[in-house]
Structure 1
Amino acid sequence: MKVDGCNALITGASAGIGCEFARQLAARARSMILVARREDRLVELADELQREHPNLRIHIQKVDLANLAELQDLLQWLDREKLGVDLLINNAGLGDSGPFANSDPVRNSEMTLVNVTALTSLTRHLVPQMITKHRGGILNVSSSAGFLPIPGSAVYA
């Protein structure tokens, strides 16, 4: 898919790879939805991108993807706003390590919600409109650690 003129949604956009995806896409995208937990960092990034690319439409959504209610709110917001997302970058991710027997069940659940449920829900929600428009791309960012049987990474891998 050509990214020129795309309407991109980037999860985990407040730092690291997600932030860099936003910076790299800014010159070519029509609009961006930046999604992350840390609103202050999203605002800083949006301000930076807007200064450098005044024609870029930027929306920020403070969402904790480990919270099902917040994920559902994001999906409903996308339906209301009708922004025509045609590039989805599933970048948000959580990791943890240590003996599984001592792991925190809440943290395990949060990892599964962010790394699997949110990614699957966003993808399933946006794919039908991409098919209808005959335009769309999805990039799922993952770690090679997710494919390796590493001691101490039972839930992550």
Structure 2
Amino acid sequence: MAQQRNTILITGASSGLGQGMAREFAKQGRNLCLCARRVDRLEALKAELEQQNANIKVSIKALDVNQHDDVFSVFNEFKQEFGSIDRFIINAGMGKGAALGTGYFHANKATAETNFVAALAQCEAAMTILREQQQGHLVTISSMSAFRGMPRAMTVYAATKAGLASLTEGIRADLMKTYGSNSPIKVSTIYPGYIRSEINEKVKNTPFMVDTETGCRLLAEAINKEPVKAYVPRWPWALMAFLMKRLPLKWVLKLS
């Protein structure tokens, strides 16, 4: 039985999946630590959530996850404010990019730095607090694209999400070495399928796309179960994960 996590920190909370998950956890009565670059959006979200549920506390802080020292400072400030943080959701990311060799190294580099190096900083800061507390839940938001190499604009994005998934499993492996199979610190990798958000709002006619509200409700439900990994929505993405890992690349490209 998964524990009740009363205080949840979400990065990249000003839009998209981060914003949607904040709304879902607020409905469940959880206290929230929300951080992102766009403070005006965070302020509006804080007012909305506190109006909907007067029994929760919502704290917001400006954070550019590529400023790595700030990641540690902000996480620690939230910890001091709330006393403990029960769950960290490492969600901040970006989707810029283009086929390698076409003159867009700057965009591919920005995606690599934000989705992997900055995620490493967030995981490091979160795990420092979780180890100190000797309890809690680390969640990373990967992607179904992590299972195979992807073409064009998705090439670097998919690689970073594969790296994040591997990093997360490595953290779990390390905790198993320390605590055995019953670690008080739980670690989950979440693989979202096609959920409508700002990062993909211009993509049209995509099969199996679900709206933001539905997708974020399913994300929150999956996270609360504290699985080792979860595909969201489960249908058809659990089957797709099985196929993507086994089919020849030319067939995977037809599925993507």
- 2:132 corresponds in structure 1 to 132
Give deviations 1:101-150, integer Å, cap 9, x for gaps: 12433322221222112221121122133233332111111211132212
Three-state SS of the structure 2 residue aligned to 1:10 is strand
Alpha-carbon RMSD across the aligned residues, in angstroms, is 2.0
Q: Which has the larger radius of gyration?
A: 2
Report the Cα distance in structure 1 between the residues aligned to 2:36 and 2:141, rounded to whole angstroms.
15
CA drift of 1:14 comes to 1.4
Cα gap change, 1:145 to 1:103, in 2 (>3 Å): farther
Residue number in structure 1 paired with 2:16: 16
| Structure 2: 5+ residue stretches without partners | 159-256
Aligned equivalents of 1:99 and 1:107: distance in 2? 10
Question: Which residue identity is paired with 1:2?
Answer: Q
Check the 8 A contact 1:91/1:141 in 2, yes or no.
yes
- The alpha carbon displacement at 1:4 in A equals 4.0
Greater helix fraction, Structure 1 or Structure 2: 2
Q: Confirm or deny that 1:3 pairs with 2:4.
A: yes
Structure 2 match to 1:42: 42
Deviations 1:76-108 (A, max 9, x none): 233345242221111111113432112433322
Structure 1: runs of 5 or more not aligned: none
Contact 1:85/1:126 (8 A) holds in 2:
no
1:37 and 1:148 map into 2 onto residues whose CA distance is 30
Length-normalised TM-score, structure 2: 0.54
Name the SS for the 2:75 alignment partner. helix
Greater RCO, CA 8 A, separation 6+: 1
Aligned letter for 1:102?
A: T
Q: Give percent identity, aligned residues only.
A: 28
Separation in 1 of the partners of 2:150 and 2:75? 37
